[in-house]
């Protein structure tokens, strides 16, 4: 199958490389010439485990290329839209300008039998509108919506072996279904469940999944607030309720909460769309989910303040972790960087490090003090704030770190350290939702 992918960010670059790996001929199109140059050289413009190898082998096979020239899509039959839908600056709603521009850019190049496939996360109703735009242009091409559920850090695996495929199709569009089946033949052969639905259902599946995940995280973080008021331990509570198969232990890690390019803006966009549809009450709980999530960041700042004696001004705080989660260099809506910036704003002498997110952090917040290693970050620190649970941080030796700091005080924002071990090494250990 000849495929084009419009938009080569986290989603599109991974999708393009994976489709080429599966044997399809793929061209990736992006308006950013610098990004296209990097990708063409086999270098992803962001950190994603496994992607550099996949990109290089797909390019070497001759099945994958990147360009800024939209007319290159003419060779392809299936055109994936993988551009961003960020939160609008002035409201909770999603900004659809990139999706609209991508479809409009495709229109002059579409031929009879082509299929435009939306992957971006959009407000329900968008696919029907864009399908009409494609239809009225008269090329004979049609549109489908095929939401993407990949997680950063596992993007390659999630794309090559997804846990489900969702096709949103116009009524009776068997041609669209067959084309998508050819694209995903290898996943289907492995028995991947496939849900064929209408446009609205397919669009809602994506935001509903993200709303559920965000709610699960905020639920356990709400329990952490109660645990803090009672002396209970939220990590044990999560283990105990997680043994119930109906609840499950996944996404019950209490701590600094969720961030990144998806969950925060998707629940806000979902609320904004529900309001337009007159069903805002149905999603009013998501406002609470968002508030619980944001409150954890404030609590983290308060705990750091507490362990340094009530005022962070002038105190040296080692910040370990800036990415919104481990195995990513993404700092979009990162709880970690938010806490680091808040501490700095309170006058703390913040020294921050991260294994992969230093450059992305520096671009967004050039005024923070960044260092390359944990050693440099913790030297002479009055307190350590662990904000992203990178594997290397989880494995830190409390005695070694203890010999470098000025005061053995640590706040574990991700409940990823063993309190017994750290306290035994003479540390004042505090965490979110744990005594
Ligand atoms: C998410 C969805 O998982 C994915 O299906 C969708 O396609 C895009 O959005 P991603 O943003 O990559 O993926 O991250 P995810 O692994 O879901 O984590 C989101 C945030 O929740 C991170 O900040 C993470 O630290 C936090 N989180 C996750 C918790 O605080 N506790 C948990 O138990 C799990």
Q: Which residue has the tokens 């050289």?
A: 41
Tens-place pLDDT, residues 246-294: 999 999 999 999 999 999 999 999 999 999 999 999 999 999 999 999 9
Q: Is the CB of 252 under 6 A from ligand 1?
A: yes
Task: Tally the C-alpha atoms within 13 A of residue 256's C-alpha that lie toward its C-beta.
Answer: 32
Residues in the chain, total: 435
**Whose CA is closest to atom 18 on ligand 1?**
258
**Whose CA is closest to atom 31 on ligand 1?**
253
Cα dihedral 250, 252, 255, 256 sign? positive
Q: Is 347 in contact with 382 (CB distance < 8 Å)?
A: no
Measure the CA–CA gap between 333 and 324, rounded to whole angstroms.
7
109: helix, strand or coil: helix
Nearest to 143 by CA among 130, 153, 157: 130
Write the DSSP symbol of residue 76: -
Res. 89 pLDDT band, cuts 50 70 90: confident
Tens-place pLDDT, residues 29-78: 999 999 999 999 999 999 999 999 999 999 999 999 999 999 999 999 99
Q: Which residues pair with 3 in a beta bridge?
A: 26, 78
Measure the CA–CA gap between 338 and 387, rounded to whole angstroms.
10
pLDDT of residue 82 exceeding 90: yes
The pair of structure tokens assigned to 160 is 């090559």
Q: Which residue has the tokens 């809506």?
A: 333
**Closest-lying ligand 1 atom to the alpha carbon of residue 150:** 7
Q: Is the CB of 211 under 6 A from ligand 1?
A: no
Task: Tally the C-alpha atoms within 13 A of residue 255's C-alpha that lie toward its C-beta.
Answer: 23
How far does the centroid of ligand 1 lie from the alpha carbon of residue 258, in Å? 6
pTM of the predicted protein model: 0.96
Tens-place pLDDT, residues 398-428: 999 999 999 999 999 999 999 999 999 999 9
How far does the centroid of ligand 1 lie from the alpha carbon of residue 263, in Å? 7
Measure the CA–CA gap between 338 and 322, rounded to whole angstroms.
9
Res. 90 pLDDT band, cuts 50 70 90: confident
Q: Is 54 in contact with 90 (CB distance < 8 Å)?
A: no
364: helix, strand or coil: helix
Tens-place pLDDT, residues 168-213: 999 999 999 999 999 999 999 999 999 999 999 999 999 999 999 9
How far does the centroid of ligand 1 lie from the alpha carbon of residue 340, in Å? 20
Distance of CA 225 to the CA centre of its chain: 25
262 among known catalytic residues: yes
Q: Which residues pair with 386 in a beta bridge?
A: 320, 412
How far does the centroid of ligand 1 lie from the alpha carbon of residue 241, in Å? 20
Q: Is the CB of 324 under 6 A from ligand 1?
A: yes
Beta strands in 32-113 (DSSP E): 64-67, 78-81
pLDDT of residue 349 exceeding 90: yes
Measure the CA–CA gap between 17 and 19, rounded to whole angstroms.
6
Nearest to 406 by CA among 334, 351, 346, 367: 351
What mean pLDDT comes out for the span 334-346? Answer: 98
Measure the CA–CA gap between 219 and 210, rounded to whole angstroms.
14
Tens-place pLDDT, residues 354-402: 999 999 999 999 999 999 999 999 999 999 999 999 999 999 999 999 9
Alpha helices in 2-61 (DSSP H): 10-21, 33-40, 51-60
The pair of structure tokens assigned to 411 is 């706040």
424: helix, strand or coil: helix
pLDDT of residue 214 exceeding 90: yes
Tens-place pLDDT, residues 111-147: 999 999 999 999 999 999 999 999 999 999 999 999 9
Q: Which residue has the tokens 């994958």?
A: 64
């Amino acid at each position: 199958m000849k495929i084009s992918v419009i938009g080569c960010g986290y989603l599109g670059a991974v999708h393009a490389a994976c489709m080429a790996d599966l044997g399809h001929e793929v061209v990736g199109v992006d308006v950013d010439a610098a990004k296209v140059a990097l990708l063409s050289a086999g270098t992803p413009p962001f950190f994603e485990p496994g992607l550099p190898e996949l990109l290089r082998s797909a390019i070497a096979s001759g099945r994958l290329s990147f360009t800024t020239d939209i007319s290159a899509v003419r060779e392809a039959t299936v055109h994936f839209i993988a551009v961003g839908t960020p939160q609008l600056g002035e409201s909770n709603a999603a900004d659809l300008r990139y999706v609209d521009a991508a479809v409009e850019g495709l229109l002059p190049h579409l031929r009879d039998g082509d299929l435009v496939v939306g992957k971006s996360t959009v407000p329900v109703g968008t696919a029907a509108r864009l399908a009409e735009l494609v239809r009225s242009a008269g090329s004979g091409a049609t549109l489908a919506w095929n939401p993407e559920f990949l997680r950063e850090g596992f993007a390659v695996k999630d794309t090559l072996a997804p846990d489900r495929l969702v096709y949103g199709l116009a009524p009776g569009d068997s041609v669209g279904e067959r084309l998508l089946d050819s694209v995903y033949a290898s996943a289907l052969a492995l028995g991947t469940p496939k849900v064929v639905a209408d446009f609205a259902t397919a669009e809602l599946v994506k935001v509903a999944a993200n709303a559920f995940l965000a709610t699960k995280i905020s639920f356990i973080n709400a329990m952490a607030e109660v645990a803090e008021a009672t002396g209970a331990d939220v990590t044990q509570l999560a283990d105990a309720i997680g043994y119930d198969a109906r609840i499950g232990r996944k996404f019950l890690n209490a701590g600094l909460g969720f961030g990144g390019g998806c969950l925060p803006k998707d629940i806000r966009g979902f609320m904004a769309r529900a309001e337009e549809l007159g069903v805002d009450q149905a999603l009013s709980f998501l406002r609470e989910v968002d508030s619980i999530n944001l409150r954890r960041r404030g609590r983290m700042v308060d705990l750091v303040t507490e362990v340094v004696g009530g005022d962070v001004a002038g105190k040296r705080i080692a910040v370990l972790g800036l990415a919104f989660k481990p195995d990513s260099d993404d700092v979009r809506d990162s709880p970690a960087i938010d806490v680091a910036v808040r501490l700095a704003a309170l006058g703390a002498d913040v020294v921050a490090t991260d294994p992969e997110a230093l450059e992305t952090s520096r671009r967004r917040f050039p005024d923070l003090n960044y260092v390359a290693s944990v050693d440099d970050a913790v030297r002479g620190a009055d307190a350590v704030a662990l904000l992203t649970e990178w594997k290397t941080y989880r494995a830190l030796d409390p005695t070694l770190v203890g010999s470098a700091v000025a005061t053995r005080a640590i706040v574990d924002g991700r409940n990823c350290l063993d309190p017994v071990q750290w306290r035994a090494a003479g540390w004042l250990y505090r965490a979110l939702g744990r005594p």
